[in-house]
C-alpha cells in the first residue's frame, strides 16, 4: 500500500426498510421457498455492496452479511453442529442452520447471548464432542460473488479464532490450546483458498483483544498467528479490534500480521500508540468514526485525531475507517422526513458515516482545504444542535445537583418489607407470572400503524388497546397465573415507547438495527435533558387491574437499559443522563403506586451488556447503574413490591450488583443456558426472591411439561421454594398467540404439580 485508503468493517444487513427481516419471516412462515429467500437476500447483499462502492470506499467488506448471525455462520462453516440436531456432515442445510438459532420440536435452540457490550445477540457455539471441519468456505463464496457481480475486490471478513473460541461453550479453560490447535488448520485452509482466489486483504475480527486475557491465552495466540503467517505469508491479514482499546496492547500489535485495526473512539488507543509506538512493518487501520452511535462526527476534530496518529504512523501505512462494524446503526437518515431539522442535521447513520470516512481520507491525503466545505457543514450542524433549547433545562440540572444518598434507600431492609408484601398479596408457593409483554399480532401492529397514520381516531385505538388488555387478562386468569400483566399492546418496543413519552428524547421512522435474528429495534435518540412530563403507563395498568382481583404488574424499562438501548448524545456525562432517566422513572413509579399498582417491574435486561470490556473499568459503570435503578425505585412503600428482569448475561460476574439493586424479585434467563446460571447461586448467598426463566421464548417450539419441571427442580436444588417464582425467560411479544397460550398452560401445570409435591412433602 502506497497511499492512505478508506475502509469499512461491516454494513447493516437489514435493508433500508427491513427487507431482510421480511424475507426471513416469510420463509419461516412457509410463504416463500428457500430459493426465493436466497434470491431476495442476494439482491439486498449486492445493493449494500454497490452502495459502498458508489460512496467511494476502497476496502469493502464481504462476508459480513448473514442470514441470522455471523457467529452462527462461523460455526456452520466449521461444522460445529450440536449432536441434538439432524446433521451428518457436509454442507449444512438452511433448515439445520435455523434450527440451531430458533429450535425445533425435538431440539432446543442453542444459547443466545449479548455480543460484547452491545444489544446484538449471537448464537453461542457448542464445542462439546465436536470434530470441526470446513463445510463451506463462506468468505470465499461472498468474495467471488462481489467480484463477479460488481467487480469489487472485496475484503473478506472472518471471526478470528481466539474470539470464536473464547465466545464458545462446552470446554474447560485448560483445553483452550488444544481446541485452538484443532481449529487452526481449518482457518489456514480457508485462508489458502482465499489467497488462491486472488484475495489481497482479509479482516480477521478479534474484539476479544479488548478484554483481559491470561498469559497462557496470549501465548497460544502468538503460536496460532505464527502458524498462520508461515502458511499464508503473502495474504494481508488485518487483526481487527473494536468496542474498546486493546488491553494487552504490546502483545497484540506484535503479532505477525500485515495490519492491526484499533478503535480510536472508545478507549485509549491514541495514548497507547503514542506511549508504546506502532510497528513499522504494519498497517494501522484507524477506527475514527463512531460505528456505534448516530451523531454526526466533528470532522475537524477527527482530522486532527488522524494528524496526531500520523505523528506515529506514516501515511502509507494508514487506513481510515469506522470504529466498528456499522451493523449497530441504522442504514440511512435520508428517509427521516419527519425529524426536526436541527436533530436530523446532527445525525449520521451508516451511509452518512461512510461519507465521513471518505471525507476524512480525502482530507488526510490532500490537505484540510480539499474538504473545507464538508468540515464547515459538520461544525455548523453540531453547533446548532448543541445550542438548541433541548440541552438547557435548568430545573433538570438543579434536581440532579441536589441528589443525595437518602434518595436511593428503601425505608426498611428486604427481610422486613418482604413480610409486609406477603401479607398484602397472599401469593402461593412458587407464584407464576410472565415477564411483561404478550403476543403482538399482525392485527396489533396494523392497528397501531393505522392510528399513527391517522387512519383511525385515538378513541378507536385506545378502545382496541382496552379490548386487547381485557382479552389477555381473561386468558391469564383462565390459565391460572398468579400475577398478571396487561401485555403492553400499546408499546412497539420497550425502550422506544419511553422515548416517545419522556422529554429529552425523539424517535425515528426507519432507524432500525438488528438485535437478534430477524428481531429489529428502533432505538430512540436522547437529544437533550431528560425529564418526566405526565404519566406514561398508568392508564393501561389501572384499567388492567380493574378487570381482576389478582395483582397486575406495572411495567417499566429501567434507566440503564433505556440508556444502553438509545442513541445518546455525547455532550453530557453518562452518569448524569442515567440519573435524569432515573428521576423521571421515579415519578412514574410514584404515580403507579398512587393508583394502587402494588407490584412494579423495572426491567434492566441491558445492565450487563454495557460493561466496559476491560474489567478494570467495571466498578464505576456498575455503581452508576445501581444508583440510577435505586433512584427510580427507592421511594415506594414497604408493601409495594419492586421486580426487575435481566436476560442473556454472565450473571456470576455481577452477582453483587444484582444484590445491590435491592429489588424484591428478580427474574433471570436460564433456559437457553441449560441451568448453568444456577451454579452462580450455589456459590453465592441470595436472600431475595428470584425467577429463573423456565422456558425459552425466543424459540417457536412449545416446551414439554417434563422439560419445564426438570428446569424447576434443578433450580430448587439450590434456591429455596419460598424464594422461587415461575416465569418464561423473557417477554412474549414475538410469539404467536396459540403457542404462547399452550406454553403458559404447560408452565402453570408444571408449577402446580411441583407446588403440590412440595406441600405434600412439607406436611
> What cell was used for 359?
471525507
Residue 531 and residue 583 in contact, taking contact as beta carbons nearer than 8 Å = yes
Distances (CA, A) of 48 to 63, 197, 356: 12, 22, 17
User: Would you mind telling me the total number of residues written for the chain in this entry?
Assistant: 763
How many helices (H) and strands (E) would you count in the chain?
A: 27, 21
Tell me the sheet residues that pair with 761. none
Q: Is 689 annotated as a binding residue?
A: no
Residue 700 and residue 455 in contact, taking contact as beta carbons nearer than 8 Å = no
Residue 13 and residue 65 in contact, taking contact as beta carbons nearer than 8 Å = yes
Residue 656 and residue 648 in contact, taking contact as beta carbons nearer than 8 Å = no
- Residue 747's closest CA among 698, 670, 700, 693? 693
Secondary structure letter of residue 127 according to DSSP:
-
Helix 372-386 and helix 350-366: axis angle, to 10°? Answer: 130
Q: Is 647 annotated as a binding residue?
A: yes
Q: Is 193 annotated as a binding residue?
A: no
Ramachandran class of 151: left when φ > 0, alpha when ψ lies in -120 to 50, beta otherwise? left
Q: Is 19 annotated as a binding residue?
A: yes
Q: Is 268 annotated as a binding residue?
A: no
Q: Is 130 annotated as a binding residue?
A: no
Distance CA 586, CA 737 (A): 33
> What cell was used for 741?
397460550
Bridge-based pairing of strands 519-521 and 513-516 is antiparallel
Which residue is associated with the grid cell 428478580?
666
What is the gyration radius of the CA atoms in the chain, in angstroms? 26
Q: Is 436 annotated as a binding residue?
A: yes
Q: Is 333 annotated as a binding residue?
A: no
- Residue 383's closest CA among 289, 293, 299? 299
Question: Who's near 143: CB < 8 A, 6+ residues apart?
Answer: 62, 63, 154, 156, 194, 197, 199
Q: Is 690 annotated as a binding residue?
A: no
Secondary structure letter of residue 124 according to DSSP:
P
Q: Is 565 annotated as a binding residue?
A: yes
Residue 544 and residue 591 in contact, taking contact as beta carbons nearer than 8 Å = no
Secondary structure letter of residue 493 according to DSSP:
S
Angle at 691 between CA 431 and CA 684, to 5 degrees: 130
Q: Is 45 annotated as a binding residue?
A: no
Residue 340 and residue 296 in contact, taking contact as beta carbons nearer than 8 Å = no
Angle at 657 between CA 654 and CA 660, to 5 degrees: 160
Q: Is 18 annotated as a binding residue?
A: yes
Distances (CA, A) of 104 to 94, 109, 156, 467, 672: 13, 7, 32, 33, 13
Q: Is 3 annotated as a binding residue?
A: no
Residue 511 and residue 332 in contact, taking contact as beta carbons nearer than 8 Å = no
Q: Is 519 annotated as a binding residue?
A: yes
DSSP H helices, 31-106, are: 34-55, 70-77, 94-102
Q: Is 520 annotated as a binding residue?
A: yes
Q: Is 89 annotated as a binding residue?
A: no
Q: Is 720 annotated as a binding residue?
A: no
Q: Is 419 annotated as a binding residue?
A: no
- Active site amino acids: 698
Torsional sign, CA 126, 131, 136, 138: positive
| Feature table: binding site for 5-methyltetrahydropteroyltri-L-glutamate | 18-21, 114, 519-520, 565, 609
| Feature table: binding site for Zn(2+) | 645, 647, 669, 730
| Feature table: binding site for L-homocysteine | 435-437, 488, 603
| Feature table: binding site | 18-21, 114, 435-437, 488, 519-520, 565, 603, 609, 645, 647, 669, 730
Amino acid at each position: 500500500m502506497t497511499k492512505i485508503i478508506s475502509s469499512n468493517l461491516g454494513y447493516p444487513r437489514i435493508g433500508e426498510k427491513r427487507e431482510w427481516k421480511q424475507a426471513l419471516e416469510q420463509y419461516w412462515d412457509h410463504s416463500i421457498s428457500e430459493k426465493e429467500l436466497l434470491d431476495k437476500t442476494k439482491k439486498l447483499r449486492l445493493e449494500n455492496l454497490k452502495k459502498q462502492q458508489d460512496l467511494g470506499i476502497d476496502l469493502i467488506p464481504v462476508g459480513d452479511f448473514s442470514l441470522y448471525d455471523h457467529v452462527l455462520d462461523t460455526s456452520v462453516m466449521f461444522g460445529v453442529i450440536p449432536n441434538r440436531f439432524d446433521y451428518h456432515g457436509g454442507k449444512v442445510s438452511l433448515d439445520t442452520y435455523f434450527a440451531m438459532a430458533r429450535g425445533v420440536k425435538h431440539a432446543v435452540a442453542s444459547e443466545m447471548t449479548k455480543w460484547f457490550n452491545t444489544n446484538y445477540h449471537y448464537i453461542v457455539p457448542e464445542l462439546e464432542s465436536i470434530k470441526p471441519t470446513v463445510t463451506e468456505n463462506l468468505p470465499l463464496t461472498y468474495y467471488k460473488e462481489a467480484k463477479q457481480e460488481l467487480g469489487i475486490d472485496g475484503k473478506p471478513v472472518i471471526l478470528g479464532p481466539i474470539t470464536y473460541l473464547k465466545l464458545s461453550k462446552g470446554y474447560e479453560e485448560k483445553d483452550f490450546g488444544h481446541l485452538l490447535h484443532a481449529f487452526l488448520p481449518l482457518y489456514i485452509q480457508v485462508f489458502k483458498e482465499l489467497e488462491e482466489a486472488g484475495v489481497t486483504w482479509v479482516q480477521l475480527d478479534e474484539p476479544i483483544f479488548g478484554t483481559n486475557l491470561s498469559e497462557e491465552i496470549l501465548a497460544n495466540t502468538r503460536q496460532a498467528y505464527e502458524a498462520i503467517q508461515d502458511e499464508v505469508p503473502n495474504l494481508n491479514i488485518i487483526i481487527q479490534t473494536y468496542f474498546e482499546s486493546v488491553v494487552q496492547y504490546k502483545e497484540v500489535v506484535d503479532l505477525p500480521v500485515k495490519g492491526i485495526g484499533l478503535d480510536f473512539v472508545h478507549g485509549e488507543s491514541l495514548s497507547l500508540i503514542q506511549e508504546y509506538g506502532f510497528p513499522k512493518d504494519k498497517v494501522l487501520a484507524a477506527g475514527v468514526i463512531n460505528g456505534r452511535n448516530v451523531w454526526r462526527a466533528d470532522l475537524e476534530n477527527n482530522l486532527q485525531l488522524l494528524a496526531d496518529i500520523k505523528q506515529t504512523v506514516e501515511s502509507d501505512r494508514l487506513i481510515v475507517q469506522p470504529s466498528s462494524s456499522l451493523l449497530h446503526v441504522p442504514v440511512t437518515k435520508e428517509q427521516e422526513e419527519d425529524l426536526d431539522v436541527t436533530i436530523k442535521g446532527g445525525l449520521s447513520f451508516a451511509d452518512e458515516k461512510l461519507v465521513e470516512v471518505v471525507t476524512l481520507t480525502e482530507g488526510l491525503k490532500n490537505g484540510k482545504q480539499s474538504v473545507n466545505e464538508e468540515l464547515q457543514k459538520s461544525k455548523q450542524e453540531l453547533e446548532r444542535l448543541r445550542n438548541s433549547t433541548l440541552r438547557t433545562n435548568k430545573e433538570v440540572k438543579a434536581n440532579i445537583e441536589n441528589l443525595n444518598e437518602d434518595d436511593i434507600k428503601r425505608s426498611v431492609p428486604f427481610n422486613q418489607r418482604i413480610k409486609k408484601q406477603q401479607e398484602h398479596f397472599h401469593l402461593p408457593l412458587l407464584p407464576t407470572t410472565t415477564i411483561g409483554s404478550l403476543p403482538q399480532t399482525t392485527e396489533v401492529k396494523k392497528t397501531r400503524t393505522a392510528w399513527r397514520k391517522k387512519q383511525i381516531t385515538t378513541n378507536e385505538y385506545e378502545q382496541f388497546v382496552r379490548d386487547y388488555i381485557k382479552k389477555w387478562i381473561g386468558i391469564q386468569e383462565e390459565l391460572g397465573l398468579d400475577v398478571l400483566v396487561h401485555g403492553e399492546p400499546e408499546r412497539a418496543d420497550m425502550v422506544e415507547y419511553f422515548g416517545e413519552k419522556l422529554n429529552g428524547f425523539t424517535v425515528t421512522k426507519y432507524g432500525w438495527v438488528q438485535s437478534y435474528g430477524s428481531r429489529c429495534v428502533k432505538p430512540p435518540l436522547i437529544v437533550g435533558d431528560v425529564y418526566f412530563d405526565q404519566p406514561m403507563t398508568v392508564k393501561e395498568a389501572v384499567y388492567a387491574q380493574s378487570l381482576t382481583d389478582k395483582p397486575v404488574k406495572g411495567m417499566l424499562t429501567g434507566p440503564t437499559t433505556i440508556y444502553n438501548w438509545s442513541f445518546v448524545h455525547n455532550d453530557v456525562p453518562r452518569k448524569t443522563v442515567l440519573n435524569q432517566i432515573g428521576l423521571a422513572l421515579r415519578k412514574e413509579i410514584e404515580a403507579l403506586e398512587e393508583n394502587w399498582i402494588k407490584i412494579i417491574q423495572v426491567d434492566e435486561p441491558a445492565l450487563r451488556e454495557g460493561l466496559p470490556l476491560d474489567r478494570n473499568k467495571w466498578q464505576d459503570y456498575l455503581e452508576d447503574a445501581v444508583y440510577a435503578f435505586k433512584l427510580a425505585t427507592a421511594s415506594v412503600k414497604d408493601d409495594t413490591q419492586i421486580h426487575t428482569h435481566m436476560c442473556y448475561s454472565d450473571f456470576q460476574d455481577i452477582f453483587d450488583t444484582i444484590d445491590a439493586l435491592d429489588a424484591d424479585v428478580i427474574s433471570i434467563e436460564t433456559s437457553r443456558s441449560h441451568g448453568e446460571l444456577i451454579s452462580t447461586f450455589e456459590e453465592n448467598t441470595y436472600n431475595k426472591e428470584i425467577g429463573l426463566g423456565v422456558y425459552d421464548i425466543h424459540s417457536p417450539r412449545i416446551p414439554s411439561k417434563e422439560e419445564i419441571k426438570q428446569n424447576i427442580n434443578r433450580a430448587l436444588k439450590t434456591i429455596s421454594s419460598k424464594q422461587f417464582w415461575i416465569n418464561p425467560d423473557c417477554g412474549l411479544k414475538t410469539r404467536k398467540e396459540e403457542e404462547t397460550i399452550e406454553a403458559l398452560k404447560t408452565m402453570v401445570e408444571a408449577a402446580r404439580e411441583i407446588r403440590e409435591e412440595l406441600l405434600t412433602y412439607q406436611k
